[in-house]
Structure 1
Amino acid sequence: MRYHNTYVKLDTRLYNRQLPTPLNNPRAGHFNTQVAEQLGWADDDDLMARWVEIIGGHYVPTEFAPLSMAYAGHQFGQWAGQLGDGRGLLMAQVIDNNDQLQDLHLKGSGLTPYSRMGDGRAVLRSTIREYLCGHALINLGIPSSNALGFVVSDTPVRRERIEAGAAMMRVADSHIRLGHVEWIASFAPDLLGEFTDYMIDTYYPECRDSASPVLAFLESVVTRTARMIADWQLIGFAHGVMNTDNLSITGSTLDFGPFGFMERFNPAWINNHSDHSGRYAFQNQPAIGHWNMNTWLPHFMRLTQAGVTRDSLADCLSVYEPTFMQHYQIGLCQKLGLPHQSASLTLAFEFLTLLEDNLLDYTNSFRSLLALVAPTDFPYEQQLLETMLTELNAEALEVWQDWSTRYLTFIGQQIHLTKQQTIESMRTNNPVYVLRNSMAQHAIDAAEQGQFEEVARLFELLSTPYIVQDIATDLDSRPPMPNAPQLPISCSS
């Protein structure tokens, strides 16, 4: 691998150098050969032979430079003070085969100075969920962390019950969070200029060509965050804990806890059972992204010599809403195979209303429209469509008939897109499979009995989520019953 450990060269107040605490008897859970090839890990025989030892904390290659990061954050809207890597270590930074910087971050590595009241460990349940979700989002085309692999061990970890300790080597384009800047502003303000330069030079070098590199950088972070959250909304993904310490400066999805993919469409859906106020409900994610940016940006007011003023920061923030709206609206039209125009958006929002009023499955309903447009070409989608229609009462069926007639008429009148272009847009923007909570739980139940075949099957299934696959089971596309209790997902992991 091409090592490029730069974070360790920053001011030592920003981190703590340390080794991982080994897990007891680590064993292979799953290994991501695609990521290994991307990193160059697959080209190193020693790394390949000892990957379980490395993730289990028993072996640290000499080229690694393990450290735990200090950061702060706002959690559920309240200032939480110093946080930091309480159970993770930035093990190394490498340049991958795409010439992109990637962090290797070991999650579940043991106690650090930032563990607070925690034990520094991760459990198998949450490790599998994060491992599969990062893989799913990447293959859905959404910027996200991924993972090299995970291990399970005999180390007991107490959460609501005693569970098996696990560890995962997370791979992300950055582990710098909004909370890093919040920590600096509160505890080491003299580092803000140096750290901002590091963020620009490392992650946004193109901003150096701007008349004001700092402002260009800030606007880029705002833009990427808005686009990421629009992607979440389009695919039906709910992060669950959008604290400022859980958002990356690169606009990539990071830190999966009580996440979930929308099943029965309910915009007010709360997937985190600890979110009693619904702050991070699905429909609130765009507004929370704006809130986080608005909380983060003022810390740069100290950089007056870089041209930062209150008005210039307001200008940076002002791009958030139009960026989100444009990206979301274009994506919504693409899901219907329509050009981006007001008539298309009217049809799209009417379809969402139909889904909400009847608690229809989000993923299946959008995918089923392929059978409406091309009935003989999509037998799997025809089954989805028939199932959807059986869930509509007489009044809802009339609404559907009216909407589908106008939708097909609109497609037939199109001059911007051919029918084949419409179908291709729908096929590539509406997945067949997402990681439903029931799917993940089924894999977890088997893994807790020492069986990882279901993890491997889901990993393969989610590698090509836009294609109907023979390895799929009924569970992979079956939503819960309407108004059925949701599987509670907590922050404990």
Structure 2
Amino acid sequence: MHYQNTYVNLDPRLYHKQPPTALESPRAGHFNTQVAEQLGWADDDDLMARWVDIVGGQYVPSQFEPLAMAYAGHQFGQWAGQLGDGRGLLVAQVLDHNNQLQDLHLKGSGLTPYSRMGDGRAVLRSTIREYLCGHALTQLDIPSSNALGFVVSDTPVRRERMEAGAALMRVADSHIRLGHIEWIASFAPDLLGEFTDYMIDTYYPKSRDSEAPVLAFLQAVVERTARMIADWQLIGFAHGVMNTDNLSITGSTLDFGPFGFMERFNPAWINNHSDHTGRYTYQNQPAIGHWNLNVWLPHFMRLEGVTRDALSDCLAPYEPTFMQHYQQGLCRKLGLPHQKESLSLAFEWLTLLEDNLLDYTNSFRALLGLISPENYPYEKQLLATLTHELQGEALQVWQDWSARYLAHVQALSIEQVVTDMQTTNPVYVLRNSMAQRAITAAKQGQFEEVSRLYELLASPYTVQDIATALDSTPPAPNAPQMPISCSS
């Protein structure tokens, strides 16, 4: 691998250097060959042979320089003070085969000075969920952390009960969060200029071409964040814990805890069992992204030439960027051009889904069975299931909407319509029930279901023979969708 460990050269107040604390008898859970090839890990025989020992914390390659990052944050809208990597270590930074900087971050690696009341460990269930979700979002072309692999061990870890300790080698384009700046502003304000230069030079070098590089950088972060959250909304993904310490400066999805992919379409669904007020529901994500950035930006007023009005100008593109990306994507999911009539149909469609608690993923995909039933037998069956769930007035609403929708489609190139729909509406997402079945088997030492889901989610837009009916079956309309804890 091409190592480029630069974070370790920053002011030592920003981190604590330490090795991982080894797990007992680590064993392979799953290894991501795609990520290994992307990083160049697959080209190193020693890394390939000892990946379980590395992820298990028993062996640290000489090129690694492990450190725990310090950061702070607002959690559920309240200032939480110093946080930091309480169970993870940034072990190395590398340039991948696309010359893109990637962080290797070992999660579940033991106590650090930032562990607070935690034990520094991760359990198998949360590790499997993060491993599969990072893979799923990456294959859906949504910016996200991914993972090289995970291990399970004999190390006991107590959560609600005693469980097996596990570890994950997470890979992301950055682990710098909005909370890093919040920490600097509170505990080391003299570092703000140096750290801002590092973020610009490392992650936003094109901003240097601007007359005001800092403002160009800040606006770029705002716009990337808006596009990421629009991508979440389009695919039906709810992050579940959008604290400022869980948002990356690169606009990539980071920190999978109580996440969920929408099944029965209820935008107010609370998928985090700790979210008692519903702050982080699916429907609130765009507003929370704006709130987080609005909290983050004023810290940069300490820098020369950065005024309140200038920061307001940096934040201003958030809403139009989100709306344009979301509306364009929503029209593409229906195979329609981005125009007023298309949006009207799209929002009527979402209302139909919400009013009748239809499955979000299946319903969008079923429209291919409406447009081209002879070419899409699987989608034709999804359509039959959809219409079977509609009764009385709701069925009439569907018939009226589908007739108007088909009239719009028939005025377009059917080939282009189908292409847009097929490439934006997945057949498979990581439903909570799917992850749970993999977790249940893994606790018995059987990782075949993890492997099957990995393969299934590697091609989410294609109907696959390895799929089962359960992979596309939502809960009953009135059944509560499973809330997830931060340790799940």
Query: TM-score w.r.t. structure 1 length?
Result: 0.99
SS in 1 for 2:169: strand
The equivalent of 1:369 in structure 2 is: 367
Question: How far apart in 2 are the matches of 1:261 and 1:375?
Answer: 27
Give the residue type in structure 1 aligned to 2:220. Answer: S
Gaps of 5+ in 1: none
The whole-number CA distance in structure 2 between the counterparts of 1:426 and 1:12 is 50
State the alpha-carbon separation in 2 of the partners of residues 44 and 123 from structure 1: 29
CA separation in 1, counterparts of 2:409 and 2:37? 43
Structure-1 residue corresponding to 2:137? 137
Please state how far the C-alpha of 1:412 moved relative to its aligned partner: 1.6
* 1:323 corresponds to: 321
In 1, Cα distance between equivalents of 2:148 and 2:259: 20
User: What CA distance in whole angstroms lies between the structure 1 residues aligned with 2:411 and 2:42?
Assistant: 52
- SS, match of residue 455 in structure 2: helix
Q: Which runs of 5+ in 2 are unaligned?
A: none
The yes-or-no answer on 1:392 pairing with 2:390 is yes
Q: How far does residue 18 in structure 1 lie from its aligned partner after superposition?
A: 0.1
Q: 1:284 offset after TM fit, Å?
A: 0.1
In structure 1, the partner of 2:434 is 439
Deviation of the 1:410 alpha carbon:
1.1
Deviation digits for residues 16-68 of structure 1 (CA, Å, limit 9, x no counterpart): 00000000000000000110000000000000000000000000000000000
| 2:331 matched residue in structure 1 | 333
Deviations 1:243-272 (A, max 9, x none): 000000000000000000000000111100
Does the aligned pair in 1 maintain the 2:174–2:249 contact within 8 Å? yes
Q: Structure 1 vs Structure 2: percent identity of aligned residues?
A: 81
User: What do residues 208-237 of structure 1 show as CA deviations (whole Å, max 9, x unaligned)?
Assistant: 000000000000000000000000000000
User: What is the CA–CA distance in structure 2 between the aligned matches of 1:282 and 1:40, rounded to whole Å?
Assistant: 36
Task: Measure, in 2, the Cα distance between the counterparts of 1:278 and 1:315.
Answer: 30
- 1:230 is aligned to 230
Query: Paired residue for 1:242?
Result: 242
Q: Deviations over 1:119-149 (max 9, x none)?
A: 0000000000000000000000100000000
Deviation at 1:488, TM superposition (A): 2.6
* Deviation of 1:479 (Å): 0.2
Q: 2:482 aligns with which of 487, 490, 493?
A: 487
Instruction: State the 1:491 CA deviation.
Output: 1.1
CA distance in 2, matches of 1:369, 1:411: 11
Provide the C-alpha distance between the structure 1 equivalents of 2:165 and 2:483, rounded to a whole number of angstroms.
21
Question: Counterpart of 1:478?
Answer: 473
| 2-structure distance, mates of 1:161, 1:467 | 39
Indicate whether 1:207 and 2:207 are aligned.
yes
Aligned to 2:25: 25
Q: CA deviation at 1:487?
A: 1.8
Query: Aligned-residue CA RMSD in angstroms?
Result: 0.5
3-state SS, counterpart of residue 131 of structure 1: helix
Secondary structure in 1 matching 2:458: coil
Length, aligned pairs only: 488
Amino acid at match of 1:348: A
Write the distance in 2 (CA, Å) between the matches of 1:227 and 1:89.
28
Q: Check conservation: 2:270, 2:483, Cα contact below 8 A.
A: no
* Corresponding letter in the other structure for 2:28: A
CA distance in 2: counterparts of 1:213 and 1:45, whole angstroms: 42
* Aligned match of 1:401: 399
Question: 1:86: which partner in 2?
Answer: 86
Aligned equivalents of 2:118, 2:209: Cα separation in 1: 44
Q: Which amino acid aligns with 1:445?
A: T
Could you tell me the TM-score, scaled by structure 2's length? 1.00
Q: Is the 8 A contact 2:73 2:179 kept in 1?
A: yes
2:253 maps to: 253
Tell me by how many angstroms 1:411 deviates: 1.3
What whole-Å deviation, never above 9, does each CA across 1:336-388 have from its counterpart, x for those lacking one? 00000000000000000000000000000000000111111100000100001
Q: 2-side partners of 1:410 and 1:197: how far apart?
A: 50
Report what 2:302 is aligned to: 302
Match of 2:410 among 389, 409, 412: 412
Q: Hey, what does 2:112 align to over in structure 1?
A: 112
Aligned counterparts of 2:307 and 2:11: Cα–Cα separation in 1: 26
Query: In 2, Cα distance between the equivalents of 1:27 and 1:96?
Result: 26
Aligned to 1:464: 459
Distance (whole Å) between structure 1 residues aligned to residue 397 and residue 39 of structure 2? 51
Whether the aligned pair in 1 keeps the contact of 2:363 and 2:382 (CA below 8 Å) is yes
